[in-house]
């Protein structure tokens, strides 16, 4: 059975922050392209949910967090088998300090 992709409110906020940043420093078109590409990257997870690597910074959490990379962004998710969905919990800019990954998930 194919899983659906669910974006948490935290992940949506991070995606909006990425959009706002690129809109400010580049253009609306660039911002839209980046955000759309990040969202499209998650579609691969519906058929291959375990394609991502284990997120080492979140190993101590109850969920088994994984990630995939798009450009400079780490898309962090876990497989919620009970709800038959992939839960996107964060979109993290890899140019930041990796310690910040453990924030508010």
| Tens digit of each residue's pLDDT (9 = 90 or more) over 47-93 | 999 999 999 888 888 899 999 999 999 999 999 999 999 999 999 98
In a domain, 55, yes or no: yes
Q: How many domains is the chain built from?
A: 1
CA distance linking residue 75 with residue 97, whole number of Å: 15
Q: What is the CATH number of the domain that holds 24?
A: 3.30.2310.20
Q: Which domain holds residue 57?
A: 4-90
Residue 82 lies in a domain: yes
Give the strand pairing for 4-7 and 53-54.
unpaired
Decide if 75 contacts 91 (C-beta within 8 A): yes
* Tokens describing residue 12: 């949506």
Q: Is the pLDDT at 97 greater than 70, yes or no?
A: no
How many angstroms separate the CA atoms of 42 and 22, rounded? 20
Tell me if 100 is assigned to some domain.
no
Query: Model-level pTM greater than 0.85?
Result: yes
Is 24 inside a domain boundary? yes
* In a domain? residue 101: no
Q: Does residue 99 belong to any structural domain of this protein?
A: no
- Classified as helix, coil or strand, 68 is strand
- pLDDT of 104 above 70: no
């Amino acid at each position: 059975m194919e899983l659906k992709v669910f974006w948490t409110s935290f992940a949506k906020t991070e995606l909006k922050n990425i959009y706002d940043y690129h809109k400010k420093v580049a253009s609306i078109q660039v911002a839209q392209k980046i955000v759309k590409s990040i969202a499209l990257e998650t579609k691969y997870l519906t058929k291959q949910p375990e394609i991502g690597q284990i997120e080492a910074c979140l190993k101590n959490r109850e969920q088994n967090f994984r990630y995939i990379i798009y450009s400079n962004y780490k898309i962090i998710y876990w497989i919620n088998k009970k709800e038959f969905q992939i839960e996107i919990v964060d979109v993290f800019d890899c140019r930041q300090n990796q310690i910040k990954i453990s924030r508010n998930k």
